[in-house]
A and B are shown apart, each in its own frame.
Chain A
């Protein structure tokens, strides 16, 4: 991914910035221009909470080249506390404990690197809450 493209998404990948519809309250992540529930165009921007629950999950065993050293790894959809959903890797998890409803928190991690000389892409991954 070119650096400029990942840079444009920093508010979302670095800070989990979402949009809440001013009319119906639906949370969009990433933010939309038009609410897909009520058609409203006015939104409040906010940073989602970094805790939530796994809605669904799978195991990636044959990844693309950027992630080849990491396979097998878990990917899931997480419903954040306070609204908003995202697709994310689930890290530091044993596949036995992976289940729908698993409480997770989003941690800042390396997502992938552009070879040995390119940029390092950072963002969030979900990890199980164990405390």
Chain B
């Protein structure tokens, strides 16, 4: 039984802030940040947007493409490191809003930036096991970087939703195989009650991101008996513009394979949404028969890799919801740092 994606959707906030605007507040050198991170601007959520609202909108776009009744969704999994509540699930609000309740299983996942692919993996696994008809996996974040920290230039917001199913006539892309690579690597963390995360600086690179991502992709290629040249597109987790390019080069992928799903230069790092959003951008342009490799990365650390094959239905459904690159490039508003600081609740307000 072939199991895969029968519906996909993205949602991005409309606001952006440029690297120059952040750098001038902290006396930093914008050109060196832009060059070092290969990142020009990032998305910023409005005061009324959070992981739940972005997840609902991404899911509505996925439902528009799937053409199914939300009542048939048997599982709703939201992966995020910015769930709005410390205790109260995000998944139930999403399920309630789309009309999937009460006959479904909900859970929230957390694994730094890997939580989205976890939701996808579990939803896919449950469909494959025959326990549910359709499963929804979402990666969404409204991530925070401490003011003046390197992360502030990249921490962004966005969501991607995937409905997994086994209906041949609805199949957009089959998931042919998957492989995960996990170790205990303390490169990035946030303790309870801390507002901003901490990270290990350069330790987040070679021993963390690159070791894990290359480990997962090498394992995936070996398990599926495939090589880099077999894929039309490869999507990496993208904390900045450089990391996915360098990982791709190390593994033998060329820039054309990487660039379609590399949204980070104008989106920023959407954490749990990052590689899932890259996959939505690839499905927006992929042709039937194309092979796609996606590899997430979450600090702590781990990667989930998937091999997908795009099916004919992608041509019928891709125009049924807004495309990811359109949301990224059009209909955007630029903020000054003061507005951004207010929207990201970095300004201390008087108590009411």
- Asked if A pairs with B, the answer is yes
Interface flag for B254 (CB, 8 Å): no
Q: Are B349 and A107 in contact (CB under 8 A)?
A: no
Q: Are B352 and A110 in contact (CB under 8 A)?
A: no
CB of B32, distance to nearest CB on chain A (Å):
33
Q: Are A120 and B56 in contact (CB under 8 A)?
A: no
Q: Is the interface of B mostly helix, strand, loop or mixed?
A: loop
* CB-nearest residue of chain A to B54: A108
Q: Are A91 and B48 in contact (CB under 8 A)?
A: yes
**A108-B97, A122-B53 known; A65 and B322 CB under 8 Å?**
no
User: Which residues of A sit under 8 angstroms from B46, Cβ to Cβ?
Assistant: 91-92, 109
**A69-B342, A131-B322, A131-B326 known; A110 and B97 CB under 8 Å?**
no
**A70-B47, A92-B46, A109-B53 known; A65 and B96 CB under 8 Å?**
no
User: Which residues of B sit under 8 angstroms from A120, Cβ to Cβ?
Assistant: 50, 52, 84-85
Q: Are A108 and B14 in contact (CB under 8 A)?
A: no
B50-85 residues with Cβ-Cβ distance < 8 A to A are 50, 52-53, 56-57, 60, 84-85
CB of B108, distance to nearest CB on chain A (Å):
15
C-alpha spacing A131/B319, complex, angstroms? 12
Partner of B97, one of A91, A115, A122: A122
B120-173 residues with Cβ-Cβ distance < 8 A to A are none
- Residues of A within 8 A of B (CB-CB), count: 22
From B48, B56, B85, name the one whose CB has the most chain A CB atoms within 10 angstroms. B48
User: Which residues of B sit under 8 angstroms from A131, Cβ to Cβ?
Assistant: 322, 326, 330-331
Q: Are B84 and A14 in contact (CB under 8 A)?
A: no
C-alpha spacing A10/B56, complex, angstroms? 14
C-alpha spacing A125/B49, complex, angstroms? 11
C-alpha spacing A92/B15, complex, angstroms? 9
CB of A131, distance to nearest CB on chain B (Å):
6
User: Which residues of B sit under 8 angstroms from A68, Cβ to Cβ?
Assistant: 352
C-alpha spacing A107/B46, complex, angstroms? 12
Q: Are A65 and B49 in contact (CB under 8 A)?
A: no
User: Which residues of B sit under 8 angstroms from A115, Cβ to Cβ?
Assistant: 352
User: Which residues of B sit under 8 angstroms from A109, Cβ to Cβ?
Assistant: 46, 48-49, 53
**8 closest Cβ pairs, A-B complex:** A108-B56, A109-B48, A110-B48, A14-B97, A130-B331, A108-B53, A109-B53, A14-B96
* A92-B14, A108-B56, A110-B49 known, 11 other contacts, Cβ within 8 Å: A14-B97, A68-B352, A69-B342, A69-B349, A91-B46, A108-B60, A110-B53, A122-B93, A130-B330, A131-B326, A131-B331
Q: A-side interface residues toward B, CB under 8 Å?
A: 10, 14-15, 47, 50, 65, 68-70, 91-92, 107-111, 115, 120, 122, 125, 130-131
